[in-house]
Amino acid sequence: MAPHILSRAPRIISSHHLWLVVAMFAIGVILHYPQQILATDSPSLFSFLGLSRHALERVLFLLPITYAGFFFGVKAGLASVAMALLIMLPRVFLISLYPSDALFETGAIIVFGVLVNLGFEGYRRERERLRISEKNYRELFEGANEAIWVHDLEGNIQIANKACQELSGYSVEELCKANVKSFLSEESLNLARQVRNKLVQNQHIDFPYEQRLIRKNGTEAICMLTTSLITSDGKPKAFQNIARDVTAEKQMQENLRFYLQQVTRAQEEERKRIARELHDDTAQELVALSRRLDGLVHRAVQWLPGDITRLEEMRQQVSRILDGLRRFSQDLRPSILDDLGLVPALEWLTSDLTNYFGIAIGMALFGSPRRFPPETELVLFRIAQEALRNVGKHSEASRAWVTLEFSDDKVTLTVKDNGKGFELPKRVGDLASTSKLGLAGMQERAQLIGGKLTLHSEPGKGTTVTVEVPI
């Protein structure tokens, strides 16, 4: 501590504030002891004001006390308090005609001086805390990877960090002279207004939300945006925005979705080709073979009884193979889906699986049925097909229900059963890792057409699969 004080001593001694404090104390001493120093008969230099007491001279000591505390800190202020006390005490006990009153007044001056210095110290510490807090915020603000900017209620940008420059292509100086309307399309501007109104009205908003900005070069940036309202005295003053650029991520997702669509389309085309060949070639050959075997059976006079039995068994085996082949062909690509659409295809599917699994499967329609793009109808059919096959193979259910609901902005497909159910993973994305590949495939198919798949299941309470597709 001592070296630190010594290092500051030259700067303190050269300060005019120090010498001003010294001058104040010197004047205070002269005013306090005029008879002893100036050899005057007047007990006070302020007697011309009609004052018979020495209180004003004591009050004047608050000037150097306050001045020292303000410019040099609480230690210098308290030292000034001690100095003032040393100056005043001799008059209190040796000169004053009213020692008790003088002691009280001196004590009041000292207490007030201490309180003033402590107040200055509290104020100084609060200022320092605010300065450090502002410095830390500024460092976080400037160094943040996310773009952060604040604009007023009219949209005029007040501050922006360097990440905003990378996001928008404009310099920070240009941004602080701009309005957010310059970076928003009409659709994005409407979304911004909706968010603003909800924030002002203290309504719930799901953050972050997707917003699109127009860069300086005219390209579009997609970001996940969190907006908060800044208030003062309970009144809205500005909006703070934190944006994370997800343009590259969105492009990768779109590319992945495109590739998945192409793979799915190629897969379905291959299914269609195989189904057609099975129906047109293999099935027809089996039909011809079945008829030849039937003809051989009818010429029974030429065969021994054992041969007839074997021929009949062969004919029945061919019929079973033909039935299985037809079912396999229908599973690959039901022609009814292409010819009549989703609703008839689902009605056929529920009827077919009712007979195959022996489970009562009901179907209900709500709203006005209509056709959708072939890809959408195919995805919904495949999801229903996979869900019902899971019911038949794994659920041990006695009943299942298929519901198709048409509304103005979406179509909702629901497959529900009363089976044994199962424990769902915490996230739908974990289905593949828990060997629920069929359910994972349904989720991926729903995402391909912009749909949302929801699963509900509990042990002993059945399973519900719901997929919503926007129209």
Query: SS3 letters for the chain?
Result: CHHHHHHHHHHHHCCHHHHHHHHHHHHHHHHHCHHHHCCCCCCCCCHHHCCCCCHHHHHCCHHHHHHHHHHHCHHHHHHHHHHHHHHHHHHHHHHCCCHHHHHHHHHHHHHHHHHHHHHHHHHHHHHHHHHHHHHHHHHHHHHCCCEEEEEECCCEEEEECHHHHHHHCCCHHHHCCCEHHHHCCHHHHHHHHHHHHHHHCCCCCCCCEEEEEECCCCCEEEEEEEEEEEEECCEEEEEEEEEEECHHHHHHHHHHHHHHHHHHHHHHHHHHHHHHHHHHHHHHHHHHHHHHHHHHHHCHHHCCHHHHHHHHHHHHHHHHHHHHHHHHHHHHCCHHHHHHCHHHHHHHHHHHHHHHHCCEEEEEEECCCCCCCHHHHHHHHHHHHHHHHHHHHHHCCCEEEEEEEECCCEEEEEEEECCCCCCCCCCHHHCHHHCCHHHHHHHHHHHHCCCEEEEEECCCCCEEEEEEEEC
Name the amino acid, one letter, at 113. G
Q: What's the first-to-final CA gap in the chain, in angstroms?
A: 76
Q: Helix 437-448 to helix 247-277 angle, to the nearest 10 degrees?
A: 110
- The alpha carbon torsion through 437, 442, 446, 449 (nearest 10 deg) reads 90
The overall pTM is greater than 0.95: no
**23/322: higher pLDDT:** 23
Residue 310 has pLDDT above 80, yes or no: no
Residue 75 has pLDDT above 80, yes or no: yes
- Asked if residue 208 has a cis previous peptide bond (ω within 30° of 0), the answer is yes
| Domain 145-245 grouped into CATH 3.30.450.20 | yes
CATH number of 337-471: 3.30.565.10
pLDDT band, residue 399 (cuts 50/70/90): very high
Residue 414 has pLDDT above 70, yes or no: yes
Of 11-25, 47-61, 124-138, 243-257, give the lowest mean pLDDT range: 47-61
Residue range 174-202, pLDDT digits in tens: 988 889 898 888 999 999 999 999 998 88
Average pLDDT over residues 43-51: 63
Can you give the pLDDT at residue 156?
92
Question: Is 310:346 a contact under the CB 8 Å cutoff?
Answer: no
Residue 73 has pLDDT above 70, yes or no: yes
Round the average pLDDT of the chain to a whole number and report it.
82
Token pair belonging to 190: 């409407």
Average pLDDT over residues 333-337: 73
Residue 27 has pLDDT above 80, yes or no: yes
Average pLDDT over residues 123-144: 80
Can you give the pLDDT at residue 313?
78
Average pLDDT over residues 84-107: 87
Neighbouring residues of 91: CB distance < 8 A, sequence distance ≥ 6: 32, 33, 54, 102
Can you give the pLDDT at residue 432?
47
d(CA 298, CA 304) in angstroms, rounded, equals 12
Residue 463 has pLDDT above 80, yes or no: yes
pLDDT band, residue 48 (cuts 50/70/90): low
Compute the residue count for the chain. 471
Q: For residue 402, report the phi and psi dihedrals to the nearest 5 degrees.
A: -120, 125
pLDDT band, residue 86 (cuts 50/70/90): very high
Average pLDDT over residues 83-88: 90
pLDDT band, residue 466 (cuts 50/70/90): very high
Structural domain boundaries in the chain: 2-140, 145-245, 249-333, 337-471
pLDDT band, residue 45 (cuts 50/70/90): low
**32/279: higher pLDDT:** 32
pLDDT band, residue 2 (cuts 50/70/90): very low
Residue 50 has pLDDT above 60, yes or no: no
The residues pairing with 223 across neighbouring beta strands, listed in sequence order, are 211, 245
Name the amino acid, one letter, at 85. L
pLDDT band, residue 400 (cuts 50/70/90): very high
pLDDT more than 90, % of the chain: 12
Residue 207 has pLDDT above 90, yes or no: no
Average pLDDT over residues 95-109: 86
